[in-house]
A and B are shown apart, each in its own frame.
Chain A
């Protein structure tokens, strides 16, 4: 029984658990009181973080680029949604606008940066991060400056208010599932194959007709759009936004968590996001240590197992069906060059 056979049943099980765990089941005769508000908040935060992490995973794990601006796109999504919904625009519209705006900004940012040397996207996104931070902090008339925006309301769906924590959590679950499915579709499509190819061997990919520049740009724009979508969900979740979570430091954390979870896999971002969200909780007693320990763990992981937690899992639990790809021992009659 290999891991791939278990994938679908595991996924279904995980989905059921995710939906059911926070709910109070005592009314159904099951002795499970569910999670309190804070527990549901953490789960919600984890899913929102995972969405943004999926975006970074596409940019980094598939297209091999570094984006230091994912938190900025979250900020763009969050503020766009907060401002629009306060102005009476329906959440659905604000959500879509957040994603599209992030996509377009991604194209504008990426176009000059990807024309040039390899790492320029990192520097451009670094600069963009700082710039967005400055704008959010300074343009008080729009963003409330350092004080931020209060009372961001949660949407209603088909007349039902999503203000209760459990309902909004389920809403986030649904959106995450849709975005996750979309990501899965992209990855298995020819686009995903092109992304993988350009990460593994851009020159060869180019010679096969793959427009490497175009696909890199596409990956960056889609990944950034996911950041925008995550931000749109984040604002009503926390109901009060200020510039702090959207600073450069948070963008850096996204890179780390995607690496930690397992780059280039579908489930890696969820794992990495889980660790990132839970870490400060576990280390409540020594709050300042959380980023330091996280950084150290990532450094160790990168050196020992760059395929992340998913890779670690595969190494330990999944037996290889074929001999290792590297040992091409001499085949009869084969002459090594």
Chain B
């Protein structure tokens, strides 16, 4: 059974990373009604920022990683909001969806052309040494992923519930008009959400690229996983995104071992279908008022 346990732990590790992507996605949707179809590419890109910094400027990994996070927040946070989202808010949701889809294509092919079409190996934050724990084969790198991902999530949760700004952000997510009346600077809260999403995506990128290898086409799978995780958890809950991410990560990992590799990708899809059929509000979501 230790094999199974290993798979579950590894699944939790990748699941925590998926959760990061799903949380940002959910936050964006809640606060600003932005469906970011480029979310997968947002998780693909920062790794390439880091790789470029290391390859072209010779920076060490730690600096490159920090630079990647900063660049992401600038490009995928501030620029994304100001250049793409803001001009489109008044046009309605459909143009925004199309624009983020176009952005996804832009980022994907951009990386392919500017950097490389080949999969790139990516350094881990902690070295890949097997820990001497009897019965379980777990590496330091995996522990590192778990620790970093979970601390990021903890930090975010604390921020949202424990600080004034965080609570204002929650208020903006749930009832923007009410928040505005109460004096919350809604525009600034929305900008924070974009920055947080970019930051989380960057973290996810740095954590997942050692495992998947950095490749321009990662966005498709990562995006899909983020969407499934968000939906499984219940689209309008941050806690749900965390739960969703972990569940998807574990199931995905188990599938890799027990299901043929050619259909491994179909397993999260099956999960999506099941949830939509039997519990469309997700595991932790509230039952929506009658939708048309």
A binding-site residues for B, Cβ under 8 Å: 60, 64, 66, 112-113, 115-120, 122-124, 126-128, 130-131, 134, 137-138, 202-203, 206, 212-213, 248-249, 252-253, 255-256, 259, 263, 288-289, 291-292, 294-296, 298-299, 302-303, 306
Contact = CB atoms under 8 A, between A and B. Distances in A.
A321 B20 CA distance: 53
B98 A259 contact: yes
What secondary structure prevails in chain B residues at the interface with A? helix
Given A295-B103, A299-B106, A302-B99, A112 B224 contact: no
Interface size class of B (residues with CB under 8 A): 35 or more
Interface in B227-265: 227-228, 231, 235, 262-263, 265
B105 A256 contact: yes
Given A256-B101, A302-B95, A117 B280 contact: yes
Contacts of A291: 105-106, 109
Given A124-B272, A288-B112, A119 B265 contact: no
B113 A116 contact: no
B291 interface: yes
Contacts of A202: 292
A138 B262 contact: yes
B97 A122 contact: yes
A138 B98 contact: no
Nearest to A296: B106
Contacts of B93: 118-119
Given A123-B231, A295-B105, A134 B99 contact: no
Nearest to A298: B102
A292 B98 contact: no
Interface in B105-126: 105-106, 109-110, 112-113
A292 B288 contact: no
Contact of B97 (A66, A127, A288): A66
A249 B105 CA distance: 8
B240 to A, nearest CB: 14
B98 A256 contact: yes
Given A255-B101, A296-B106, A130 B266 contact: yes
Given A112-B276, A252-B104, A256-B105, A130 B269 contact: yes
Given A116-B291, A292-B109, A295-B109, A130 B102 contact: no
Given A127-B273, A206-B292, A288-B112, A302 B265 contact: no
A126 B227 contact: yes
Contact of A292 (B99, B105, B291): B105
A60 B272 contact: no
Interface stretch (B66-74, B83-91, B130-138): B83-91
A116 B97 contact: no
Closest A-B pairs by Cβ, 9 of them = A295-B106, A116-B280, A127-B269, A295-B102, A295-B105, A138-B262, A288-B113, A298-B102, A202-B292
20 contacts: A60-B94, A116-B280, A120-B231, A123-B231, A127-B273, A128-B269, A131-B269, A134-B262, A138-B263, A249-B105, A252-B104, A256-B98, A256-B101, A288-B109, A289-B113, A291-B105, A292-B109, A292-B113, A302-B91, A302-B95
Contact of B95 (A138, A203, A306): A306
Contacts of B91: 302-303, 306
B99 A123 contact: no
